[in-house]
Amino acid sequence: MKRRLLDWLACPACQGTIALTRAVPDAGDIRDGELTCVACGARYPITRGIPRLLPPALAVEAIATAERFGYEWTRFAEIRPEYEAQMLGWMAPVGRDAFGGRRVLDAGCGKGRHLRLAAAFGAKDVIGVDLGPAVDAAARNTVDLDNVHVVQGDLTRPPFQRESMDLIYSIGVLHHLPEPEAGFRALAPVLRPGGRFVAWLYASEGNGWVLALVDPARRLTSRLPLPLVSGLAWVVTVPLWVALRLLYAPARTRDRLGRALPYSSYLKDLVPFPFREVHSIAFDQLLAPVAHYMPRARVERCFAEGGLTLESLRWHHANSWAASGARGGAH
């Protein structure tokens, strides 16, 4: 943990100021130690360089979701060059220039794949937060970057000071909260006035077959042991991989074929990825205890409940929402 991270942390229980009360240094950073809230006295450990600012009580569903995604990200921990185009697609029309010189929060950072990109896009500091063991993978994947910080915390009680961030992005995370609106309401105050909020969310529009087939299967597989779910996802990946190589790869240069294939806009983008990455995507669809496929009106409501002015709402790949807005105040 870098000492300057203290300037932006807050107690998740009471929003009080956080002080460093014990530290084991490691080359100028803090490897292990303890943080204390000066207002309520709550104590939070720092272990393996990560401050663990978890609130005193967590919902069972939230813990299960974090643990299951943590299992995924610690086993599929690779960082791939294809992630850059994927991230920019999820965030568009917000692009690289939104990061330059800004303090950025990755709300639900997983294994840290977007933290590295945000740092490369010129962010002054990037803070990744996640609830479960994925933070350890994120820290390992960004250990060489001086402008990246990783925090373990809950998105519905974010351990950050109000108005401390210039940009918040959350890619593929808020729809896994029991109530996505709660994530928007909790995170928006962390933005400075005029700061930007970007979210990528599952859509109900365009996902009829997913809602009819995949989501009911997920409700079952989300209760199964994770090694078994990974095995089931591997079985699903084999025919999908064959279709990607034989059909969707040529469709990238043949518009007529692309128009004839189902889910073409999305699946064509998976063609560059190796089998292992496609396996991780299939696994991702089957492991979550909670997954909301959100209609346009609900996305609009999420931004409104967060006090955010919705500036762009784009139907991405005809199966998801790429949304961005700003907190009230001057840009």
- What's residue 58's pLDDT? 74
Span 242-260, mean pLDDT? Answer: 94
pTM of the model: 0.93
Tokens of 211: 């809602």
Confidence tier at 68 by pLDDT (50, 70, 90): confident
**Burial status of residue 225 (CB atoms within 10 A of its CB: 0-12, 13-18, 19 or more):** exposed
Span 226-239, mean pLDDT? Answer: 96
Tokens of 226: 């994770």
Confidence tier at 197 by pLDDT (50, 70, 90): very high
Q: Nearest 5°: CA angle at 67, between 13 and 305?
A: 50
Q: Nearest 5°: CA angle at 130, between 293 and 54?
A: 120
Task: Please state which of the ranges 96-105, 176-185, 266-275, 321-330 shows the lowest mean pLDDT.
Answer: 321-330
Domains detected in the chain? 1-53 (no CATH), 54-222+288-331 (3.40.50.150), 223-287 (no CATH)
- What's residue 329's pLDDT? 66
Question: How big, in percent rounded to 5, are the helix, strand and coil portions of the chain?
Answer: 40, 25, 30
Q: Is the pLDDT of residue 331 over 70?
A: no
- Give tens-digit pLDDT for 132-168: 999 999 999 999 999 999 999 999 999 999 999 999 9
Q: Sign of the C-alpha dihedral, residues 57, 59, 64, 67?
A: negative
Percentage of the chain beyond pLDDT 70 is: 99
Answer with the residue of higher pLDDT: 75 or 300. Answer: 300
Q: Is the pLDDT of residue 120 over 60?
A: yes
Are the C-beta atoms of residues 169 and 106 closer than 8 Å to each other?
Answer: yes
Span 254-268, mean pLDDT? Answer: 92
- What's residue 165's pLDDT? 98
